[in-house]
Chains A and B, each alone.
Chain A
Amino acid sequence: MMNPVSEMPLRLAVWLLLAPLLPGIVNKVKAWVAGRRGPPVLQLYFDLAKLWRKGVVVSTLASPGFLLGPAVAWVAVVGAALLMPLGPSLAGAGFRGDFLVLIYLLALARFCTAWAAMETGSAFEGMGAAREVSYAVLAEAAIIAAVLSLGVQTGSLSLSTMLAPAAGAGAALLAAGLFVVLLAENCRVPFDDPNTHLELTMIHEVMVLDHSGPPLAAILHGASVKLLLFSVLLVQAVLPIGQFAPWAGAGVLAAGVLGVTVGVGFVESLLARLAFRRVPLLLTTAFLLCLFALLVAWKGGPS
C-alpha cells in the first residue's frame, strides 16, 4: 500500500494512458468476429494525437461554453476515475460517500456535454442531448441501486472497502445489471451504435457532431476513460479483488477489464441496435436486476 498522495501520479497515468486502449480492443474484437483485419488496437491514440494538432471550426451561434463544456466534462470524468480504486495496490484515498461524488461527477460531465451540444442550436444535437439526459434517469436509478446493494452487502460507504470483497449472493444479478448500465452509459450497442453516422439513430455521437480538433479529442478521450471506469467498477464490484495479493489483484483486475471489453465487442458484433422506444425497457430491466441484487444483499449476509 502506497501513500495516497505519491501514488496519485501513477493512478493518473494509468487512467489517462491506458483508457484509449479499450475502444481499440472493442473494435479489434468486432473486426475479428466479422472476419476483417480491422484498425490497429492503438488507433484511438493516433486519432487523438491528430485531432489535438488540428484546427477548430466553431458554430457561429456557439458561446464560449461550447469550448468550456468539453474541458469541464473531461475534468469531471478524470476526477471520477481518480476516485475509483485500482485494485488493492492502488486503492487511493477514499472517504465515506466518495461513490456519490463519483456518480455526480459523471452527471456533471453529462451536463457539460449536453450543454455544449445545445450551443449549436442544431435540432440533431438537441435530439441527442434530450436522449442522453432522459435515458440517464433510468441508468442513474440503476447505478444507485447497485452501489446501495454493495453498501448493504459490505456495511461500508467508501469505494475502496465497498469494492474489495465479492458481491455475495447477488453477484450475477449485479454483474448483469451493471453491464447493461455500462453499455447504456457509454453509448454502445444495443443502445447506440458508435459506428453509425445517421444522426437520427445516435445518442452520443450526434451530440458531438459540431465539435472538431482539440475539443473533440477531449471528448473522445473522456469517453474512453468513462468506458474504462465502468469496466473497472463492474469487475471490482463482482470479483473479490481486495482478497488478492497486491500485484495479483492488479493482474486480476486487468484481466477482468479485458474480459469486459471483449464482452462489449461480442455484444456489438452479435446484437443489433434496439429501437429507441425499447431502450427504457432494457434500462428498467437493468434497474430491476440491481434492485434484486439489493434485496438479495438485504436478505443474506449478517444482520
Chain B
Amino acid sequence: MNEGTLNLLVGLAMGLNLLALGSSRLPALIRTVAAQGVVLGVMPLLIEHETLDWRVAAVAVATIAGKGVVIPWLLRRAMRAANIEREIEPFVGYVPSLLLGAGGTIAAVGLARALPLLPAHSGSLLVPGAMASVLTGFLLLIGRVKAISQVCGYLILENGIYLFGLLLIHSTPLLVESGILLDVTVGVFVIGIIVDRIQRAFDSLDTRKLTTLRE
C-alpha cells in the first residue's frame, strides 16, 4: 500500500493547490500552504520507509518544521504587521483561477502519461503533482496582487520543485535539499521585512502600485 498511500498524499497536495487557488482570505491561504508543507514533509518517510536512516528523517523533520511551522509563522507575522486580512479583487478571479488550476492539473496528469518516465515512476502521481504545483504557484504569482499571496504562490511553486526532487531522493545530496530549505526560509524572512516596508511606503500591499517605482 506504500505506492497507494503516497499517491493519496500527492492527490491531497493537488487538492490543496486548488484550495489555495480558491481561498480569498490570507489566513486560509497560509494555512493551506502550511498543510501542503506538512503533507510534503511526510513523503520522504513513506518513500524510504524500508531503509529509514537519520538523514531522510532529518529532511522530513526539517521540511515539516520549516514549511509547516516556521514559514507560516513568519507570514502570519508579516500579515499582522501589514494589518491585512484578505485579498480583495485579485487580478484573476477565484473561479477562473480555480478552473485554470483544475485544467492544468488534468493536463499535468495527461502530460505525465506521455512523458518517457522510468517504469518505477510511471504509476506514481509524483510527476503530475509536481507539475500541477509549479503551475499553481505561477497562477498565484501572476493572478494575485497582494505581496503575501504572491509569497504563498512562490512557496507552492517551490513545493512543486520539491516534489520533483523526491524522484531523485537517492541521488540528491542532503546538503542541496537543506540548502534550498534554508534559502526559502531566509527568502520568506526577507519578504516579511519588505512587506512591512511596502506597507509603510505605499499604505497598501498592492504590488501593482510598485509600477510607480519604474522611473
Q: Chain A residues in contact with chain B, CB under 8 A?
A: 278, 280-281, 284-285, 288, 291-292, 295
B98 touches A281 (CB 8 A): yes
B106 touches A295 (CB 8 A): yes
A291 touches B22 (CB 8 A): no
A288 touches B18 (CB 8 A): yes
* Residue count of chain B within 8 Å CB distance of chain A: 10
B106 touches A280 (CB 8 A): no
Chain A residues near B189 (CB-CB < 8 A) = none
**Chain B, Cβ-Cβ closest to A285:** B22
Shortest beta-carbon distance, A68 to chain B, in Å?
36
Interface SS of B by simple majority: helix
**Chain A, Cβ-Cβ closest to B15:** A292
A288 touches B94 (CB 8 A): no
B98 touches A284 (CB 8 A): yes
Chain A residues near B18 (CB-CB < 8 A) = 285, 288
Q: A288-B98, A288-B102, A291-B102 are in contact. List 18 more A-B contacts (CB 8 A).
A: A278-B24, A280-B95, A281-B22, A281-B94, A281-B95, A281-B98, A284-B22, A284-B95, A284-B98, A284-B99, A285-B18, A285-B22, A285-B98, A288-B18, A288-B99, A292-B102, A295-B106, A295-B109
Q: Lowest 8 A-B CB distances belong to which pairs?
A: A288-B102, A281-B94, A284-B95, A280-B95, A281-B95, A284-B98, A281-B22, A285-B22
Chain A residues near B102 (CB-CB < 8 A) = 288, 291-292
Shortest beta-carbon distance, A294 to chain B, in Å?
10
Chain B residues near A280 (CB-CB < 8 A) = 95
Shortest beta-carbon distance, A165 to chain B, in Å?
20
Shortest beta-carbon distance, A223 to chain B, in Å?
28
CA distance A295 to B125 in the complex (A): 14
CA distance A281 to B94 in the complex (A): 7
Chain A residues near B98 (CB-CB < 8 A) = 281, 284-285, 288
Chain A residues near B106 (CB-CB < 8 A) = 295
CA distance A280 to B93 in the complex (A): 11
Chain A residues near B109 (CB-CB < 8 A) = 295
Shortest beta-carbon distance, A276 to chain B, in Å?
13
CA distance A132 to B56 in the complex (A): 54
Chain B residues near A291 (CB-CB < 8 A) = 102
**20 A-B pairs whose Cβ atoms sit less than 8 Å apart in the complex:** A278-B24, A280-B95, A281-B22, A281-B94, A281-B95, A284-B22, A284-B95, A284-B98, A284-B99, A285-B18, A285-B22, A285-B98, A288-B18, A288-B98, A288-B99, A288-B102, A291-B102, A292-B102, A295-B106, A295-B109
